[in-house]
Amino acid sequence: MLRLPRPAAVLGLLTALGLAVGCRAAPPVTARYDPAHDLGPLFQDVQLAGVFPDSKTFVDARPLLAPAAIAGRYTAARGPTGFSLQHFVEQSFELPRPVGEGFHADPTRSMEDHIRALWPVLTRRPDTADARSSLIPLPQPYVVPGGRFREVYYWDSYFTMLGLVASGRTDLVRSMLDNFAYLIRTVGHIPNGNRTYYLSRSQPPFFGAMIGLYATATDTAQALPYLDALEAEHAFWMDGAERLAPAQEYRRVVRLPDGSVLNRYWDDLAEPRPESYRPDYELAQTLPAAAREAFYRNVRATAESGWDFSSRWLRDPKDLRTLETTELLPVDLNCLLFHAEQTIAALRRFRAHPGDREVAEQFARAAEARRQALLNAAYEPNEGFFFDVRWRTGVRVTDRPTIAAAAPLYFGLATPDQGRKVAARLERLFLKPGGFVPTLIASGQQWDAPNGWAPLEWLAIEGVRRYGRADLADTARARWLALNRRTYRATGKMTEKYDVVDLRRRAGGGEYPTQDGFGWTNGVALALLGQKQILRAFGAQDQSALGLSRSSTYAVVINAAWDNPCGKLPSCSPVAGSISSANSPSALARRSRLWNSRSPSSKSPDMASVCASQKLQARKAPSSPATPSGDL
């Protein structure tokens, strides 16, 4: 049986290393404020009374006194007639404000200028420890999504980082990686967000993809400090795998009847989410008491998926009480873990310490075993598509196709034939006037049609590009960016999600109003626009004209070139080359050397102008965002 490093051993190494990454001292670890349990009956009373329309407001509020003291005062004061719960809360707590409140868009600015102007607005300074805050303090600056999302979010950050790279802010990418490594070291994993009420779950594990992005934008040596943290995170997701017999499961791991291992989403708690307490509690009350624990766990596991909520996870697409998330093996989750295993193997080979070669081989075998298991379990030949799998029966959920089928293309698991068939179905069924829809069902949930989401657009666009469909990728990119730009010109805002079916309608669904900001929308827009600009500077229309690999990895290299066109394109690092055997490392290295050998003036008039701008930016303070070269 394959034996990977045990969680305790990896976490012990991280603890021994201390702050292996980042130079700022970490905030001291203090007692963490847990609103749902530290406020006694007050918490439930406030949430169920609807004092705030959004349950998240109260868990983000800061107690003005010790929580126990407030709870005691509430118990003593709440009996008499005339007691106002709302007044009591307003006198006892400092209420949070939306991120970006007071920021006014300049209507004369281009969308690109607007996005770059938002980076400082969405960036939080390093936190200080506060025993009365649910915020888990982080030692380095970080970007938050915006609006009600006042903290860092795990999977959002990968897509935000794409735009930071395109804006020349690899320093901020590094700071965010430092923070994620810090969280792994101190709490054992990267939680959903840096709030105490998120500690029982994670989110789609993009840490390996973030490291690969950073390595490609800088160099592989810069990524090595995060190797130990990446292995520790992998151990968190694989906890219990070695003890499972066929057809058994534990937390996030499932061993199939054939002995192969795949993963699912999970949460260690089976109770209402504090940040969505009222809707969770009230919906659970419509179920028999014996069914509520499973419902709560599935709600939380769905939140870990990032797709909260979607018909993807529902037995009955119209009934949220039929969530079956913990019963499913998600296609995209297992693609992410495949990529993490490949990245660990690549970084171990690159580091070449004693024993690294053997560990690299273990992770490479684990990645290939996962790939074969996923292809066998999730790909339906008759449909030419990947589906989530009900692990107890092995049945594919073929009645609810989702855009998660693009993940095996983005991460290079699919065979060429599978990739072509998936791309064709995405084009035929999922592509709409404004981009791709997540599913084909309009359930009223926000991760269903007619909405489109920047992270899913990116994965689908770059996934189909990787498998030879640059035409489809370019069409989808143009539609999505046109929708972004149209909405910005009409409202002055970049939003969390968009209606890609009716371009005149604002996106809806979900537990809260559509949020402005917005981190991942901004990041994906700049990344897609960065591709367009660098290709224009080369005097080419698409990657094929340059003879480049149609891979998501090289798309990142294109963004890195736009980030620093006068410097060096990274050579073919093991991280970049490891993502798929379909890549051609030697060819990529040759193209990189060719690019680096060209003087700025020989890189076309467009690029010469870009280089001049970059040289000017180099004289500015590191915190200054790069000046864009103009509206694209």
Tell me the per-residue pLDDT of 235-265, one tens digit each, with 9 for 90 and over: 999 999 999 999 999 999 999 999 999 999 9
pLDDT in tens, 340-387: 999 999 999 999 999 999 999 999 999 999 999 999 999 999 999 999
Domain-terminating residue out of 96, 127, 144: 96
Report pLDDT for 102. Answer: 85
Q: Residue 556: is its pLDDT beyond 50?
A: no
* pLDDT at 302 (0 to 100): 98
Supply the Cα-derived Rg of the chain in whole angstroms.
24
Give the Cα-Cα-Cα angle 344, 350, 355 (nearest 5 degrees).
Answer: 75
Give me the pLDDT at residue 136, please.
98
pLDDT of residue 601: 34
Q: Establish if 561 belongs to a structural domain.
A: yes
More confident call, 231 vs 510: 231
Same domain, yes or no: 124 and 87: no
Residue 558 lies in a domain: yes
* Partners of 386 in the β-ladder: 379
**Orientation angle between helical segments 585-597 and 552-563, nearest 10 degrees:** 20
Whether residue 122 is found in the same domain as residue 91? no
Distance, CA of 493 to CA of 404 (rounded, Å) = 27
Task: Report the pLDDT averaged over residues 413-422.
Answer: 98
CA-CA distances (angstroms) from residue 226 to 230, 553, 569? Answer: 6, 19, 21
Cα–chain center distance at 142: 14
Partners of 453 in the beta sheet?
Answer: 497
Collapsed DSSP state (helix, strand, coil) of residue 207: helix
Can you list the positions of beta strands (E) in 402-496? Answer: 431-432, 435-436, 451-453
Statement to judge: residues 60 and 163 lie in one domain: no
Q: Same domain, yes or no, for 216 and 157?
A: yes
Percent of the chain exceeding pLDDT 90 equals: 74
Residues 85 and 120 in one domain: no
Does any domain span residue 566? yes
Q: How many structural domains comprise the chain?
A: 2
Same domain, 137 and 87: no
Torsion sign, CA atoms 619, 621, 623, 624: negative
Mean of the per-residue pLDDT values of the chain: 84
pLDDT above 70 as % of the chain: 78
pLDDT value at 56 more than 50 = yes
> In sequence order, which residues have a C-beta less than 8 Å from that of residue 428 and are 6 or more positions away?
none
* pLDDT mean over 432-454: 98
Say if residue 97's pLDDT is above 70: yes
Query: Quick check: is 56 in a domain?
Result: yes
DSSP result, 323-360: B-GGGEE-HHHHHHHHHHHHHHHHHHHHH--TTHHHHH
- pLDDT category at 507 given cuts 50, 70, 90 is confident
Domain finish residue from 45, 65, 96: 96
Distance CA 459, CA 331 (A): 13
87 and 123 housed in the same domain: no
Please state, in angstroms and rounded to a whole number, the distance separating the CA atoms of residues 309 and 325.
10
Residue 526 belongs to some domain of the structure = no
Distance CA 556, CA 563 (A): 10
Name the strand (E) or helix (H) holding 94. strand 93-94
User: What pLDDT does 401 receive?
Assistant: 98
Q: Work out the number of other CB atoms within 10 angstroms of the CB of residue 2.
A: 11
pLDDT at residue 153, rounded to an integer: 98
DSSP 3-state of 254 = strand
Structure confidence at residue 3 (pLDDT)? 46
Residue 257 within a domain: no
Residue 250: what pLDDT? 98
pLDDT confidence bin for 79, thresholds 50/70/90? confident
pLDDT at 552 over 60: no
Give, in degrees to the nearest 5, the angle at Cα 223 between 219 and 224: 120
Say which of 112, 178, 228, 308 is annotated catalytic: 308
Helix, strand, coil share of the chain (percent; to 5): 55, 10, 40
Helix (H) or strand (E) holding 124: strand 123-124
Q: pTM here? A: 0.84
Q: What pLDDT, on a 0 to 100 scale, did the predictor assign at position 26?
A: 66
Question: Other C-beta atoms within 10 Å of 326: how many?
Answer: 22
Q: From CA 82, how far away is CA 415, in angstroms rounded?
A: 69
Is residue 592 in some structural domain?
Answer: yes
Q: What are phi and psi of 277, to 5 degrees?
A: -60, -50
Residue 581 lies in a domain: yes
* Pair (85, 122) in one structural domain: no
Residues 627, 597: one domain?
Answer: yes
Exposure class string for 512-550: b at 16+ Cβ within 10 A, else e: bebbbbbbbbbbbbbbbbbbbbbbebbeeebbeebebbb
Do 87 and 186 reside in the same domain of the chain? no
193-146-304 Cα angle (round to 5):
30
588, pLDDT greater than 90:
no
Cα 545 to Cα 591: distance, rounded to the nearest angstrom: 13
308 is catalytic: yes
Q: Which is catalytic among the residues 457, 462, 474, 496?
A: 496
pLDDT for 285-303, tens place per residue?
A: 999 999 999 999 999 999 9
pLDDT tens digits for range 522-548 = 999 999 998 866 556 545 444 444 443
Give the range of the structural domain holding residue 545, as residue numbers without chain letter.
116-228+541-632
Give me the helices (H) in 6-94, please. 7-17, 35-38, 41-49, 55-60, 67-77, 85-92
Given the DSSP bridges, would you call strands 395-396 and 389-390 parallel, antiparallel or unpaired?
antiparallel
Q: Are 123 and 216 in the same domain?
A: yes
Band of pLDDT at residue 563, cut at 50, 70 and 90: very low
Q: Is the same domain home to 626 and 548?
A: yes
Give the confidence band of 596 by pLDDT, cuts at 50, 70, 90: very low
**pLDDT for the residue numbered 622:** 37
Residue given tokens 């050579």 in the structure block: 571
CA distances from 469 to 176, 419, 438, 462 (A): 33, 9, 19, 9
- Minimal CA–CA distance to 257: which of 395, 385, 387? 395
Over residues 46-67, the mean pLDDT reads 97
pLDDT tens-digit map of 310-344: 999 999 999 999 999 999 999 999 999 999 999 99
